Structure 1
Amino acid sequence: MLLSQMGSLQSTFLFLILLHSLNIAAFKDQDWKKATATFAKDTEGSLITEGACGYGDLHKASYGKHSVGLSTILFNRGSTCGACYEIRCVDHILWCVLGSPSVIVTATDFCPPNYGLSIDYGGWCNFPREHFELSQAAFAEIAKRKADIIPIQYRR
């Protein structure tokens, strides 16, 4: 009886070590990455009613103002649909909200490229730029609405 309890304890201990190592590997994926963000002009506080991911009415699906359109490289042909991102404005004293609060958004749409404009002036969703197009409401949680484009950090 005692030997079987020791074996069970050893198995549990081994499982916890394995679980801890998996959490460390997952945490490494949580590093902040640099990108940019803009906002889409909207009337109801959400980016769109329906996005390119095909979730239907985003208000009914409870995404609402926390949906986001991703640039070509981040959208990755739709493979990131449904992914959640934490976004915060950084490195811009005039545009970022004091204290660098973050907002959690869900990828529900594609931000189409505009190859007629450079990536530094209007072609923000052009490949290979990493860019998020937020609703006005989500944008206002991290930056002042006067801003056109802001530097951000994000993580999944």
Structure 2
Amino acid sequence: MGLVLSFSFLLMVLFPALSTSEDPFICSRATYYGSPDCLGTPSGACGFGEFGRNINGGDVGAVAKLYKNGTGCGACYQVRCTQPQLCTEDGVKILVTDHGQGDNTDFILSARGFGKLAHPNMDIELMAHGVIDIEYRRVSCQYPGYNLMFKVHENSRFPDYLAIVILYQAGQKDITAVELWQEDCQQWTGMRRAYGGVWDMANPPKGPLNLRFQVSGDNGQKWVQLRNVIPSNWKAGVAYDSAMQLF
């Protein structure tokens, strides 16, 4: 099947060490949405569920054009406002978990993330503005202690319908395609992007699943192949550890 034999070799070839992000900032606008605990929402368009509510300490957000039909799900951005009297120079790192657009905004942040743009004790004053001018740039996602994980979506029905969500995706790569190995016909078959970060397939292969996904970045597109990443008796709602990470 031509599956990768060495994860360490794979990572050295496909994912060279990331330099610090020096991409130029892009000017835009941002607002925030209300929630009882100021965190994200489990019903975000990316399909992350509770992961989308709590990940990154709740510093999450919905994006407009950066959503990219779901490819932008899980990307991280440094966002900072352009009012130095109210806001810090570093701003906040936001993880994309949803799709949405406000008043000519590129970001709708969780209340917690929006408040972290401000200097200490000035978050209430900043939030009173409602919509603010910002600048942003793509930065690497980092999940110390976590490997890339494949969660079987709660809507999956064993063994006839499989939907997965890819969680804890580090670095700055976008996942643009996912395929499963069909042993009976000796070929890779593409999963469908159902919505957001959710990929699905009716009548998936039986047995432990060999999976590959395509990543894109500054160096073009590459395929990453994983053997037996999802067990034969997979269960809805369970996340399976890939034992690797993207860097």
- Does structure 1 residue 33 correspond to structure 2 residue 26? yes
- Return the letter of the residue paired with 2:134: I
CA 1:105–1:141 in structure 2 vs 1: closer, same or farther (change >3 Å)? same
1:37-66 deviation per Cα after TM superposition (whole angstroms, max 9, x unaligned):
000011112131231111121367624521
Larger Rg: 1
Q: Which residue of 2 aligns with 1:102?
A: 91
User: Structure 2 CA distance, aligned partners of 1:50 and 1:63?
Assistant: 17
Q: Is 1:131–2:106 an aligned residue pair? A: yes
Distance (whole Å) between structure 2 residues aligned to residue 33 and residue 40 of structure 1: 22
Select the structure with the greater relative contact order (CA < 8 A; seq sep ≥ 6). Answer: 1
Paired positions, count = 116
Q: Is 1:140–2:132 an aligned residue pair? A: no
Aligned to 2:148: none
Counterpart secondary structure, 2:50: coil
**Counterparts of 2:53 and 2:84, CA distance in 1:** 36
Equivalent-residue separation in structure 2 for 1:69 and 1:60 (angstroms): 12
Match of 1:81 among 73, 77, 83: 73
> In the TM superposition, what is the alpha-carbon distance from 1:34 to its structure 2 partner?
0.8
Superposed CA RMSD: 2.7
Q: 1:58 to 1:50 in 2, by over 3 A?
A: farther
Q: Does 1:50 pair with 2:25?
A: no
**Residues 1:60 and 1:66: Cα distance change in structure 2 (over 3 Å):** closer
* Contact 2:31-2:109 within 8 A present in 1 as well: yes
Q: Deviations over 1:3-52 (max 9, x none)?
A: xxxxxxxxxxxxxxxx79x95xx956x21111110000111121312311
* Aligned-residue identity in percent: 28
In structure 1, list runs of 5 or more residues that go unmatched: 1-18, 113-122
TM-score by length of 2: 0.41
What is the match of residue 154 of structure 1? 136
More helix by share: 1
Contact kept in structure 2, 1:55 and 1:61, CA below 8 Å: no
